[in-house]
Amino acid sequence: MTEEFKIIIDDDIKKCEDEIINGNKQSRGKLHGILVSKYGSIIDGFEDGLHSLFYDNDGTYRKENLERMKEKLLLFKAMDYKNSYAKDENTGITVNNTNQFSATLNISFAEAKKQVEAMTSLRDEEIDEIHSKIDELEKIVASSDRKTKKWDKAKEIIKWIADKGIDVGLTLLPLVLKLGEQTS
**Residue 101: band (very low, low, confident or very high) from pLDDT cuts 50, 70, 90:** very low
- Segment 94-101 shows an average pLDDT of 53
| Least confident span in 33-47, 51-65, 97-111, 159-173 | 97-111
pLDDT at residue 173, as a whole number: 86
- Segment 142-158 shows an average pLDDT of 89
- Segment 3-8 shows an average pLDDT of 91
How many Å is the Cα radius of gyration of the chain? Answer: 33
Query: What number of residues does the chain have?
Result: 184
3-state secondary structure of 42: coil
pLDDT at residue 167, as a whole number: 83
pLDDT at residue 74, as a whole number: 92
**Residue 133: band (very low, low, confident or very high) from pLDDT cuts 50, 70, 90:** very high
| Least confident span in 50-54, 63-67, 126-130, 154-158 | 50-54
pLDDT of 184 over the 90 cut = no
The residue ranking higher by pLDDT, 47 or 1, is: 47
- What would the pLDDT profile of 51-88 be if each residue is shown by its tens digit? 888 778 898 999 999 999 999 999 888 888 887 654 44
The residue ranking higher by pLDDT, 88 or 172, is: 172
Q: Which residue, among 52, 119, 16, 101, has the nearest Cα to 134 in the 3D structure?
A: 119
Q: Which residue, among 98, 77, 90, 80, has the nearest Cα to 12 in the 3D structure?
A: 77
Q: Using CA atoms, how far apart are residues 10 and 79, in angstroms rounded to an integer?
A: 14
CA angle (149 as vertex; 145, 150 as ends), nearest 5: 75
**Residue 96: band (very low, low, confident or very high) from pLDDT cuts 50, 70, 90:** low
Q: Using CA atoms, how far apart are residues 48 and 21, in angstroms rounded to an integer?
A: 23
Percent of the chain with pLDDT over 90: 33
Say which amino acid occupies 5: F
Residue ranges per structural domain of the chain: 3-78, 109-180
